[in-house]
Structure 1
Amino acid sequence: MHIEILVEDSSGETLLRVLLPRLLGPQGEPHSWRLHAYKGIGRIPQGLVTKADPAKRILLDQLPKLLRGYGKTPGVDAVVVVLDTDKRDCATFLGELELAAAACSPAPNTLFRLAIEEIEAWYLGDRDALLAAYPRAKLDVLGKYLQDSACDTWELLADAVHSGGSAAIKKAGWPLPGQVKHEWADRIGPFMDPERNLSPSFGKLRDGLRRLAVGAP
């Protein structure tokens, strides 16, 4: 099986590049995949007609066009789209995404997976990996986190592991926020064990990919 995987930013791509072999086996043995990182989430266009500039690489702006293209592409067995919910209601957002995919013709077999509220929830779901990467992380801050809650997730992680916390990152401004998120992917990702992750949204990604791989609905 070959899977095309679309991610809203490059730090998510960095994390998935580490985790996919642990979820699907080595690349090409027997499953293959290709990762595509975008530069933001955007929104599903009205009428599913893409008018945005593709060079800006905003994922949902381009999604209907992308899905129709993959639906016509031989050798693409499935498409997986990985997004943060941010402050959106998870069930409502997922319903909108699935309706948009169903309206595309032709459309590939498409799986949407949402990080609640942000992909940092998946790092926080594997406390052992996080502490292996950051042994001096502030346990009192980590102890305040309710898994997969909408609580400004990346800020909480920053407050636990970054000198000066999220306030220092915000004060410095761009590009530091993006650099820090890449650092987390690079440092925490290699220690992560998909089997012990306590994030329900990560579990849905793990289990969904594995069902795809065996051809289960």
Structure 2
Amino acid sequence: MELTLQKIAPGLIGDRTFGIHPFGGKPDLLRKLPARLKGYSSFAVQQGYGVVILVDEDREDCCELKDRIESIVKNSGLASVSSGASNPVVLSRIVVEELEAWLLGDPQAVVAAYPKIPVSYIKTKKYRDPDAIRGGTAEALEPLLKRYGYIADSMRKTDVAVSIATHMDVSSNISRSFNTFKAGLAVLLSDDLEPLRSS
């Protein structure tokens, strides 16, 4: 997620500054998030910071996960995009089902990174709707790369993420969760918040 965001953030937020704060997985994020947000609440609004919380669904109930995160945001005293507040400071989004759905959502970027893969792969039922892939989007991407000779054994997720994200066009992604994230980000940035913090 961190490496992908480093590549695509400029296309999403323009020349605004941003920082990325990775956590040691979803349990670590959920454990540390209340204290982190309370720390931000003392200066985020005054200094024009926005906070983005991104987490993989990873086969969890996305509604329950979103509700849990939104509850933490509310308890921190910060307004979120999802609450409908007029001046939101926090955007929380769930990547359905995993980050690889965003990567598969840009077939031109996949083909630019791995030219032996025909762009027609996106027309097959399995890949037509990246967010609907069951059993893991990483597990769907790996056999595609194996079939065309890019990997022999297991896929190195970070390498693949960087390779594809380098070519991503944020204006043409077909992943619904990516476009939901992008739309929420546009709301968060509508008041021209200057620095953006991503978690």
Question: Scaled by the length of structure 1, what TM-score is found?
Answer: 0.73
Q: Which has the higher helix share?
A: 2
Instruction: Say whether the 8 Å CA contact 2:37–2:73 is kept in structure 1.
Output: yes
Q: Describe the SS at the equivalent of 2:143.
A: helix
Structure 1 residue ranges (4+ consecutive) displaced by more than 6 angstroms after TM superposition = 138-141, 163-167
**Cα offset, 1:92, TM superposition:** 2.2
Contact 2:108-2:119 within 8 A present in 1 as well: no
Q: Is residue 2:73 matched to residue 1:101?
A: yes
1:78 aligns with 2:50: yes
Q: Give the % identical residues.
A: 32
Counterpart contact for 1:147–1:199, Cα < 8 Å:
yes
Aligned to 1:15: 4
2 CA distance for matches of 1:97 and 1:84? Answer: 12
- 2:63 aligned residue (81, 84, 91): 91
Deviation for aligned residue 1:65: 0.7
Aligned length: 176
1:207: Cα distance to partner? 1.6
For residues 110-149 of structure 1, what are the structure 2 equivalents within 5 Å?
A: 110-137=90-117, 143=124, 144-145=126-127, 146-149=129-132
Contact 1:116/1:148 (8 A) holds in 2: yes
- Residue 113 of structure 2 contacts residue 163 of structure 2 at CA under 8 Å; is this kept in 1? yes
SS at match of 1:34: strand
> Equivalents in 1 of 2:188, 2:117: separation in Å?
36
SS at 1:113 equivalent: strand
State the AA in 2 paired with 1:110: V
Name the CA shift for 1:194/1:140 in 2 (closer, same or farther; >3 Å): closer
The code of the aligned residue for 1:214 comes to: S
- Quick one: which amino acid aligns to residue 128 of structure 1? Q
Q: Take 1:158 and 1:139, find their aligned partners in 2: how far apart are those partners?
A: 16
Residue correspondence of structure 1 range 9-48 to structure 2 within 5 A: 12-26=1-15, 31-42=16-27
What is the alpha-carbon distance in structure 2 between the residues aligned to residue 162 and residue 61 of structure 1? 37
2:108 and 2:115 map into 1 onto residues whose CA distance is: 10
TM-score normalised by the chain length of structure 2:
0.79
Question: 2:167: which partner in 1?
Answer: 191
Which consecutive residues of structure 1, in runs of 5 or more, have no partner in the other structure?
Answer: 1-11, 43-57, 170-176
User: What letter is aligned with 2:111?
Assistant: L
**Ranges in structure 2 where 5+ consecutive residues have no aligned partner:** 80-88, 193-199
Q: For residues 165 and 159 of structure 1, what CA distance do their matches in structure 2 show? A: 10
Quick one: distance in 2 between partners of 1:162 and 1:207? 34
